Structure 1
Amino acid sequence: MNIVLITPSGPTSRTGNRIAAARWARILRHLGHRVHLAADYDGRPADLMVAVHAWRSAGPIADFKARHPGRPLILQLSGTDIYDYISSDPVPTLRSMALADRLVALNDLAWRVVPRQLRERLSVIYQSALPLPNGNRPSRRAVIVSVIGHLRDVKDPLRAAAAARLLPADSRVRVEQVGRAYTDQWAGEATAEMAANPRYHWRDDVPAATVRRLLARSHAMVISSTSEGGANVVSEAVVAGVPVLASRMDGNVGLLGGDYPGYFPVGDTEKLARLMRRIECEPSFVARLRRALRERAPLFRPDREIAAWRRLLAGLAD
């Protein structure tokens, strides 16, 4: 098939949407299809559209279906679609969802916010990750808690830095954060936090290889988002065996499972600080987290993601 894969442009090529779209393009090509990756639909002939983000891709989705009403469209629902725009700007979001022949979510709790009449179209495809080349080898110089993700409101990006301030004087925890600041305000706040907090260091946007090296020497990774569709960095941490300290909301629980022991309430700095201290001082707690991650890791195998796309496309053909 000729497939056009639409993904919205962002302030950096390393946004979650862009990274996911690039990986899906590789998968679809592996399955024998021709894929054109674009930020908008230019009208070129295509047998299928795969669109990322219902709200941001609403124009290309509507255009494709107007030109080719009988041709299938697969829509991947982003976190902002299902946990923000579906209520704050529902008309374009729901129109895109209604036009799609299949909906793809990245976590297994997303069905709870998809309209009931559309749930039969919904599939969950977990984003895969490869093991780290040399595995997880935590630093011996400090207890490294990594925060991997761009600095924007929905990520609550300085929560780990604030939690590190609450740790006792003898703590060896250091928070290392990578990711581009989406606004000058976030850049200013991160810079000010570094000046005031000796346990915090922000390294701005960095290459993917640098992110992997940080994850490899981390004792834990924090994902403190107020909402998520299903962050690929969680998949990467799980596969790497790096304990995840995660805000308890659907996008994280839908990846890590309801009984995962490393949750803290959204925005709860004190609870996060206690978890970070346990990472530092309780080997049995770390072992418990690692066991839980090993149980979830098979969900994020690349062959499983490829098989899920194969089934999805076969279902469209049927």
Structure 2
Amino acid sequence: MTEDPRLIVLATDSAVPSGVGEHMLTLAGVLVPTYGIVLAFPSHGDGPRFLARAADAGFETIALGEHFAAWVRSRHPALLHVHAGIGWEGHELVEAGRKAGIPVVRTEHLPYLITDPEQKSRHRMAATLADALVVVSDAAAASYRAEGFIHIVTIRNGIDVPVARRARSETRAALSIPEEARIVITVARFTAQKGYNSLLQAAATVSSQLPQTVFLLVGDGPEQTAMRALAASLNLSNVAFLGRRADVPDLLAAADLFVLPSLFEGLPLVVLEAMALAIPIVATRVGGTVEALGQDYPFLAPPADTSLIAAAIIKALSDRLASRVIGIRARQRFEERFTAARMGREISALYRATMERMCEA
């Protein structure tokens, strides 16, 4: 066995890492001055795309498979940090670290959502094996405490400030959107969680009152076909489905308003991205989204409430000056609370404490 006392492994077995994968790449970037980093993703689904991005960024990578447990025993890193996109993920990874005798940290990226008794039991066993259980917002922590979990650490998500490569006018021109149009953008996977159904119905109301509004929907996922059909049934010719894009910062910077109508969230990275770019946001009053924006944020609506989501969008688009001020305040809040550097410091402190406890034991 070869021990590697400064090596940290960041791993997820989620086949669609999405925001979890982005979080892991950001975390790796802020940890690398202190630790050697290995990023582990599945060899199937969307995992290879994240493996390629990690390798392009200069990180050692490993494609997960049956050999992972043996690899952990052989390399014996200082710590294994498992990231679970949802409660039934990550169990085998935690067990591999525990069997190898290394400290294990597990981060839950969503609130507690498990209802199946067998899955609950399996999750509790895996969570108990971890040396530290991390959640990404106080709202998520409350959901875990309600299920009887006591030893929980809240470390809120953080991001680097997105960098737009093109001017606002260039991006609009590339999309054939006139400068006078009002762009509303949503960046999220097409899943039931993200509330696209409510957004499209709200878009119909908004479009009837503000006909120069254009809705850009960025992302892919299992509900995209159904949402295209809904948009067609609502005669929403001003809605563009852009799919997965590599130029999200450019698209955000070209927009007048960001909307996230989720039914639940941990602490959504894309809201932080919009905050960092001072883009006004309309969002639903759920979990970590409220934590990011603040309880008194003016453009929050109840989840799945089409009329109030539409009203919030109309209000935000109708008063440009007020929305601009709100966007600037959100950026200040981001700088104070949600930077990647802050997240890295808190994670590093947790790593040190976890490894020290292992040594003392």
TM-score band (shorter)? 0.7 to 0.9
- Greater CA deviation, 187-196 or 164-173? 187-196
Deviations 1:109-148 (A, max 9, x none): 2221123764444131322131434799586331111010
Q: Name the residue aligned to 2:113.
A: 84
SS at match of 1:75: strand
- Residue 90 to residue 303, structure 1, CA distance change in 2 (3 Å): same
Contact 1:98 1:118 in 2 (8 A): no
Residue in structure 1 matching 2:89, options 56, 59, 62: 56
**What is the CA–CA distance in structure 2 between the aligned matches of 1:74 and 1:262, rounded to whole Å?**
35
Q: Check if 1:100 corresponds to 2:103.
A: no
**What is the CA–CA distance in structure 2 between the aligned matches of 1:135 and 1:85, rounded to whole Å?**
42
TM-score, with normalisation over the residues of structure 2? 0.77
Deviations 1:167-204 (A, max 9, x none): 23553211100101225xx3243255157211211111
The structure with the largest alpha-carbon Rg is 2
Q: Name the residue aligned to 2:327.
A: 290
**What is the CA–CA distance in structure 1 between the aligned matches of 2:97 and 2:35, rounded to whole Å?**
22
**What is the CA–CA distance in structure 2 between the aligned matches of 1:222 and 1:38, rounded to whole Å?**
29
| Unmatched tracts of structure 2, length 5 or more | 1-5, 43-63, 173-178, 357-361
**What is the CA–CA distance in structure 1 between the aligned matches of 2:115 and 2:141, rounded to whole Å?**
13
**What is the CA–CA distance in structure 1 between the aligned matches of 2:296 and 2:115, rounded to whole Å?**
28
Q: Name the residue aligned to 1:3.
A: 8
Q: How many matched pairs?
A: 308
Please report how far the alpha carbon of residue 93 of structure 1 lies from its aligned counterpart in structure 2 after TM superposition: 2.1
Q: Percent identity?
A: 20
Q: Check if 1:126 corresponds to 2:131.
A: no
Contact 1:52 1:75 in 2 (8 A): yes
Q: Name the residue aligned to 2:59.
A: none
- Residue 212 to residue 34, structure 1, CA distance change in 2 (3 Å): closer
Q: Name the residue aligned to 2:338.
A: 300
Contact 2:195 2:263 in 1 (8 A): yes
Q: Check if 1:47 corresponds to 2:70.
A: no
Contact 1:262 1:275 in 2 (8 A): yes
**What is the CA–CA distance in structure 1 between the aligned matches of 2:342 and 2:121, rounded to whole Å?**
34
**What is the CA–CA distance in structure 2 between the aligned matches of 1:177 and 1:141, rounded to whole Å?**
19
Tell me which amino acid in the other structure corresponds to 1:266.
Answer: P
| Unmatched tracts of structure 1, length 5 or more | none
TM-score, with normalisation over the residues of structure 1? 0.87
Contact 1:135 1:240 in 2 (8 A): no
- Residue 87 to residue 78, structure 1, CA distance change in 2 (3 Å): farther
Please report how far the alpha carbon of residue 62 of structure 1 lies from its aligned counterpart in structure 2 after TM superposition: 1.9
**What is the CA–CA distance in structure 2 between the aligned matches of 1:192 and 1:22, rounded to whole Å?**
35
Q: Name the residue aligned to 1:309.
A: 347
RMSD: 2.5
